[in-house]
Chain A
Amino acid sequence: MSDFAATLGGIFSNPNFYFTVLSTTVPILLATLGCAIAENAGSTNMAEEGIMILAAFFGVIGAAYTGSVWIGLLVAVVVGAVMGLMIAYFALYLKVDIILVGIAVNLIGSGLSAFLMYVITGDRSATTSLHSGTLPTISIPGLSDIPFIGTIISNQSVLAWIAYLAIPVMSFLLYKTKLGLRIRSVGENPDAASSVGVSVNRTKMAALVISGILGGLAGAYLSMSYLPYFSKGMSGGRGYIALAATAMANNTPVGSFGTSLLFGFFYALSTYSSTLGIPDQLVTTLPYVATLVGLVIFAINVQRKERKMLHESGGGHSSKAQQVADASEA
């Protein structure tokens, strides 16, 4: 047991571990932010998984055939945006259930990317023959000299920086801009929003396109930073994890950061698990156990809030003592 503690201590004092935590969090974070903004507008975007894998694939193809990873990134983003637009068109204008659209996009994503990979490159499992390259990494001179922190944050991909910067940007967008206010009001109460002249469909569409772009960035990260090629099924369920992370985060950008970091942490830990002498299966289930626990806590919180609101609006004279009693009950 002390052996175990020593190894665990060794992992936790290794800056490279935190580097891995941050880098594995990136695609989950981007997808989670994508789910969150759609959710804020009242549309559940289930399709991040499919968007991610298609963007990862087309990004690599774009990069390989133009010889520029930046164009590859652009292609991935455009693919993400187009997918978001497509989902919006089907769900908002053709009135197809958005969950069904999401499932269809995910199925198309995994099948089409594998199929086109074979047709275009002749590869069946990974496009290693394309040499599509990777996006540059960033190390800021001053920062990378700081002993522990330097190792963690330097040499992270440019997309990792974009992902972490996306958190404040998205907070600003949602809570400080007109579009953000519209998105939230459409999600909260579409009828009220449309009564004051906000176009519900157009606002939801904007949210879904942003959601698609974030999914596209996540895909680009997978195939142009994480690995320098597209590999079949490389989205690896991250789009679904993002759905859970969004729910746990109550659809807020900062919360999304916290929950995706949690998944990133446990995923990174699972890759280090062999030296801990505990079964890898156990560690890989931890994020999901954490999700369950998180969702329970979240549900309890919501219940408590609702009860409080009921008290306030119903009785109007709920005493401080009563509230404390409620809280301890929950």
Chain B
Amino acid sequence: MSGNMNRRQFLATSGIALAGLGLSACGGSSTSGNSSSDSGSSSDKKRIVYVINGTLGDKSFFDSGHEGMEKIADQYGDQYETDTREMGYDTSVWESTALDIASEGWDIMIMGTFDMVEYADEIATQYPDTKIWFFDESWDFNTYPHDNIYGMLFAQNQGSYLVGMAAAYATKTKKVAFMGGMQNKVLQDFFVGYKQGVAAVDPSVEVVDDWTQSFSDSTIGHDHARALYQQGYDIVFSCCSSCGLGAFDAAVEMGDGYYVIGVDGNQGEYWASQGDTAKAAHTLTSMQKNVNNTFLDAAGEELKGTLPYGTVVTYGLDKGGVSYSVTDTTKEVLTEEQLAAIDQAQQDIIDGKIQVDTTF
């Protein structure tokens, strides 16, 4: 009887433990895109993988990169074989997962953000034949000298300058906010550009920076944005991936006159496409980081053999690496003169007449 009981206990315990582990693993790494298992056999296609240290579905940064992968598959499908891998938000598995993926022998691995620098360094050392396109963090070739790494940086400061102008034009309270996920160099770069753009229009407008310490939890983004609105900051530039989605809900709750500036993708257009007109109406503009285009550009150059490995290339307004979006809401809130002024500033930045502050 007791032996039987023990076996039952054992089975039950191990059963639920296994179920738990198995299911939680589903949240971890998963595969999507068009991979094929028999690759690398005789095909001379370049195998290229986009490694995400997070998950798709943020409607901005990572999704845009995935779009880039789809564009590569569309345009150069005969020469590239693409795949996208999500590693989830559990930082403790990133190193091992990235190394696992590297061991599959890819020709090119695309990865990015400041969290991944050390792992990319490790991979570049262990797999000299694998090329790495490292985006969204200035690769320090003095500390990590690798000739198989190509650095892609976005001039987020330039795009942020333009949406900062939009914020300064749109604010009624003369107080605008920036909401970032974590105080790293890239997000600081967003902030300094934004601040400068606001000051260029009206130096009396107050700019506050707020850090949520999260890139994934929408409830935190919602609460922070709401707190900012409640304190009279009527425009919030929301820069924290999935966490930032909550800002749109906060703006809708607050009602007329409160706006979010989206990031990375054209979030106003996204909400409109989802039929979420309320959120679209509260999205002033978006600072687009066109990760998709830069991936596609790099893929084109790689085929020509002109991709400058060992250097960092900055994709600014001139190369379409960043841009600001104009939606119906933007046109409603801003006058034509104001929009023309922003366009003029864009041209001035490209021409070098305006120097935008940067943290790099």
Contact = CB atoms under 8 A, between A and B. Distances in A.
Contacts, number: 144
A247 to B, nearest CB: 24
A42 to B, nearest CB: 19
Interface residues of B, number: 50
At the interface, is chain B mostly helix, strand, loop or mixed?
helix
Contacts of A108: 16, 19-20, 23-24
A222 B20 contact: no
A69 to B, nearest CB: 15
Contacts of B210: 273-275, 280
B227 A20 contact: yes
A96 B222 contact: no
Contacts of A166: none
Interface in B203-225: 208-213, 216-220, 222-224
A276 to B, nearest CB: 10
B37 interface: no
B231 A234 contact: no
B209 A274 contact: yes
A90 B11 CA distance: 11
A234 to B, nearest CB: 6
B26 A114 contact: yes
Contact of A125 (B55, B211, B223, B228): B55
Interface in B1-29: 5, 8-9, 12-13, 16-17, 19-27
A111 interface: yes
At the interface, is chain A mostly helix, strand, loop or mixed?
helix
Nearest to A91: B12
Contacts of B13: 96-97, 100
Given A107-B20, A126-B242, A227-B218, A271 B12 contact: no
Contacts of A274: 177, 208-211, 224, 227-228
A124 B55 contact: yes
A14 B229 CA distance: 12
Contacts of A82: none
B264 interface: no
A272 B232 CA distance: 12
B226 interface: yes
Contacts of B25: 111
B76 interface: no
Interface string A214-251: 00000000100011110111101000000000000000
Interface in A260-277: 267-268, 271-275
A262 B230 CA distance: 21
Most buried by A among B12, B17, B208: B12
A274 B21 CA distance: 38
A257 interface: no
Given A111-B27, A227-B222, A274-B228, A233 B208 contact: no
Nearest to B8: A94
Given A123-B57, A233-B216, A281-B213, A24 B24 contact: no
A16 interface: yes
B89 interface: yes
Interface string A1-31: 0000000001100101100100010000000
A-B pairs with lowest CB-CB distance, top 10? A124-B57, A111-B23, A274-B210, A107-B20, A125-B57, A111-B24, A231-B218, A16-B230, A271-B227, A104-B20
Given A271-B226, A274-B177, 19 more contacts: A95-B9, A100-B17, A108-B24, A124-B57, A124-B86, A125-B56, A128-B274, A231-B217, A232-B216, A232-B242, A234-B219, A271-B224, A271-B227, A272-B227, A272-B231, A274-B227, A275-B208, A280-B210, A284-B213
